[in-house]
Amino acid sequence: MNFWILSGSLLAFLTYFPLWKQIRSDEDEVEQNFLTWFLWGILDLIIAIALIIQGGNFLLVSVYAAGGLVSAFFIWRINGFSWTWFDLFVVFLVFVSMVIWYHSGEWMATIVSTIAMLIASIPQLVDAWKKPENMPLAAYFSYFVANVLTTVGGQDWSVKERFYPATCVALCLLFVLFSARRFYLEPATKPVTAEP
């Protein structure tokens, strides 16, 4: 571990606390997708184990695995969840990732699970596009910075060192851009003014 990886992982860890507070608060309208977070947690756990076995850059993805599962728990407690065909498809991808891991090893499991994690992000990205005002922009920006730091900290440009965090840089940048749209959209309701 080096300074960059430790800094990025610590930043990601600390970012979960205000995010959890927003999720659990009645005052803040932070909409998060339970199954996205749950599947992120499971896929990140698969990636973390594969990276640990390879001796790769595993700390950030381990933080994401734990944080994703705890976030899913809070979201489930507040909103419950419902299954869609897409969620079932992502569960299938989790299963495929484990089968590939068993047959092809940790290197391929890292790639396939990371791609499955990206696919699992689609519902949350759609929510961020449709309702940017309900997205935790600060948290997404913090995760973006954490991924950049961890990517910089990788020892080389191999799958075990930089594939996951570099992929998450692009994903979190999308979340930041989609969530930042709130500053450019007109409010849904305009105040009514009295006519003279």
Q: Kindly report, residue by residue over 99-110, the tens digit of the pLDDT.
A: 887 788 889 888
Between 185 and 186, the more confident residue is 185
- The rounded distance, in Å, linking the Cα atoms of 125 and 61 is 20
Calculate mean pLDDT across residues 88-112: 83
User: Does residue 9 lie in a domain region?
Assistant: yes
State yes or no: pLDDT of 138 exceeds 70: yes
DSSP percent split of the chain into helix, strand, coil, nearest 5: 80, 0, 20
Percent of the chain with pLDDT over 90: 42
- Number of compact structural domains in the chain: 1
State yes or no: pLDDT of 194 exceeds 60: no
- The rounded distance, in Å, linking the Cα atoms of 126 and 128 is 5
Q: Are 166 and 151 within 8 A, CB to CB? A: yes
- The rounded distance, in Å, linking the Cα atoms of 131 and 121 is 15
Q: Which residues contact 45 (CB under 8 A, 6 or more apart)?
A: 65, 69
User: Does residue 82 lie in a domain region?
Assistant: yes
Calculate mean pLDDT across residues 158-171: 93
User: Does residue 80 lie in a domain region?
Assistant: yes
Calculate mean pLDDT across residues 14-36: 79
User: Does residue 91 lie in a domain region?
Assistant: yes
Q: For residue 186, what pLDDT band results from cuts at 50, 70 and 90?
A: low
User: Does residue 194 lie in a domain region?
Assistant: no
Q: Provide the CB-side half-sphere exposure for 56 (13 A, CA).
A: 26
The token duo for 139 is 């948290």
**Per-residue DSSP letter, 182:** G
**Per-residue DSSP letter, 184:** T
Give the pLDDT of residue 27.
Answer: 56
User: Does residue 187 lie in a domain region?
Assistant: no
- Helix/strand/coil for 80: coil
User: Does residue 195 lie in a domain region?
Assistant: no
The range of the structural domain enclosing residue 20 comes to: 3-182
User: Does residue 188 lie in a domain region?
Assistant: no
